[in-house]
């Protein structure tokens, strides 16, 4: 086999190798995207579960069994969270400010595609601008939820605003 | 034909054969991957469609536009098992109560996936409407106000205040019948008529 033929053979094999690698990469990327969306579905289901649970609680510790008519009667912004460090009794919405767990997050391993981590934060917002934290108590509390899986780069972030009415 | 030429031909046939095997395997893998990707996409789309419908009905449990017809507190669920539920709601916002029932049926006849079942939805006395979206699990858990799980079927449906819904969807048809490799799961906790409960 002459030098020209050898070069042509080497070139052909390199070309074939490049095509195989490219195809393989494409297949893996495709599978990764689908796995990520599958995990994303479970993350959304987990986040909405927490939102449902939180919005089913009383608006505030002081509205659990009583009615309040002034924002001064609500829990101060700096005190939002579980009362007296009792992490087992989540009875109002702002108890979800920092769910109990290591490193400020809880671990959920009951779903089918691995271990999920959840972090939550509750704060007051104004009715006219619910995207900005209010430093004073208002009739509106916002819950931010972050859910992520250590095997997936993206984090699902969802939020809801819970309000109090009195008549 | 000299021996060198013969050796060249044999060697090139061996290398060519190896390359052909690689190409065929790659093609096979690409076909499998295409089928699995399509199946995964279909499963995820089916799951989201199903969950949208379930959420639409379940979030209105106990609601009635006409307050005088509203059921007494916590009497929204008429009956429930771990795979079926019957509840009242004003489904079309018409000011009258409807009875909605969800229940898991039997295996889908002729479906290659032996685990796929029908999910039925029945409104009032209309005939149940079956959906075949690849549902292999439709599991319901009921909790009382203290977070304690209620055993099913209920003795006292009025105690149920929270429902946990788990839905698993698998492809109805897939390459090499590898059904367990492609699936999507949705698990959600849903409160019953939270607007009436919240203070």
Q: Closest Cα to residue B179, out of B4, B35, B63, B20?
A: B35
ipTM of the complex: 0.75
Residue B154 has pLDDT above 90, yes or no: no
Cα separation, B83 vs B70, whole angstroms: 26
Do residue B162 and residue A38 have CB atoms under 8 angstroms apart?
no
Structure tokens at A28: 């893996």
Closest by Cβ to A23, choosing from B30, B164, B186: B30
Do residue A111 and residue B187 have CB atoms under 8 angstroms apart?
yes
Do residue B194 and residue A56 have CB atoms under 8 angstroms apart?
yes
Given a contact cutoff of 8 angstroms between Cβ atoms, the answer to whether B77 and B192 are in contact is: yes
Q: Which residues of B touch A48 (CB under 8 A)?
A: 188
Instruction: Kindly state the average pLDDT of the residues B98-123.
Output: 92
Q: Any idea what DSSP says for residue B165?
A: E
Given a contact cutoff of 8 angstroms between Cβ atoms, the answer to whether B142 and B88 are in contact is: no
pLDDT tens digits for B9-19? 888 889 889 88
CA atoms within 13 A on the CB side of A72: 0
pLDDT band at B1 (very low <50, low <70, confident <90, very high): low
Q: Where are the domains of chain B?
A: 46-197
Q: Where are the beta strands (DSSP E) in A7-69?
A: none
State the pLDDT at residue B198. Answer: 39
Q: Which B residues in the span 22-61 are in contact with A, Cβ-Cβ below 8 Å?
A: 22-23, 26, 29-30, 33, 36-37, 40-41, 44, 47-48, 51
What residues does B102 pair with on adjacent strands? B85, B121
pLDDT band at A91 (very low <50, low <70, confident <90, very high): confident
Q: How far is B126 from chain A (nearest CA, A)?
A: 31
pLDDT tens digits for B11-66? 888 988 988 898 898 888 888 888 888 888 899 999 999 999 998 898 888 888 88
Average pLDDT, chain B: 85
């Amino acid at each position: 086999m002459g030098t020209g033929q050898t070069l042509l053979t080497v070139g052909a094999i390199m070309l074939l190798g490049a095509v195989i690698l490219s195809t393989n990469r494409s297949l893996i990327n495709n599978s990764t995207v689908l796995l990520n969306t599958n995990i994303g579905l479970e993350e959304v289901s987990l986040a909405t579960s927490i939102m449902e649970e939180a919005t089913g609680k009383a608006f505030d510790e002081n509205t659990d069994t009583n009615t309040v008519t002034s924002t001064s009667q609500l829990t101060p912004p700096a005190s939002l969270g579980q009362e007296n460090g009792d992490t087992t009794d989540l009875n109002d919405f702002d108890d979800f400010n920092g769910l109990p767990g290591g490193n400020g997050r809880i671990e959920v391993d009951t779903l089918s595609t691995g271990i999920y981590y959840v972090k939550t934060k509750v704060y007051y917002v104004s009715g006219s601008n619910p995207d900005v934290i209010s430093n004073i108590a208002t009739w509106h509390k916002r819950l931010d939820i972050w859910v992520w899986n250590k095997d997936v780069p993206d984090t699902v972030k969802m939020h809801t605003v819970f309000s109090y009415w009195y008549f | 034909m000299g021996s060198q030429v013969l050796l060249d031909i044999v060697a090139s046939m061996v290398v060519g054969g190896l390359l052909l095997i690689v190409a065929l395997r790659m093609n096979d893998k690409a076909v499998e991957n295409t089928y699995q990707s399509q199946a995964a996409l279909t499963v995820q789309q089916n799951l989201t469609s199903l969950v949208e419908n379930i959420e639409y009905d379940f979030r209105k449990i106990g609601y009635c536009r006409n307050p005088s017809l509203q059921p007494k507190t916590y009497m929204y669920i008429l009956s429930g098992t771990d795979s079926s539920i019957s509840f009242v709601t004003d489904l079309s916002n018409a000011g009258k109560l409807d009875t909605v029932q969800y229940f898991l049926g039997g295996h889908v006849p002729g479906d290659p996936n032996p685990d796929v079942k029908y999910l039925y939805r029945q409104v009032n006395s209309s005939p149940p409407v079956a959906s075949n979206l690849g549902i292999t699990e439709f599991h319901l858990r009921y909790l009382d106000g203290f977070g304690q799980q209620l055993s099913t079927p209920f003795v006292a449906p009025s105690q149920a205040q929270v429902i946990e819904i788990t839905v698993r969807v698998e492809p109805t048809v897939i390459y090499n019948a590898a059904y367990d490799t492609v699936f999507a799961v949705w698990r959600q906790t849903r409160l019953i008529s939270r607007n009436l409960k919240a203070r």
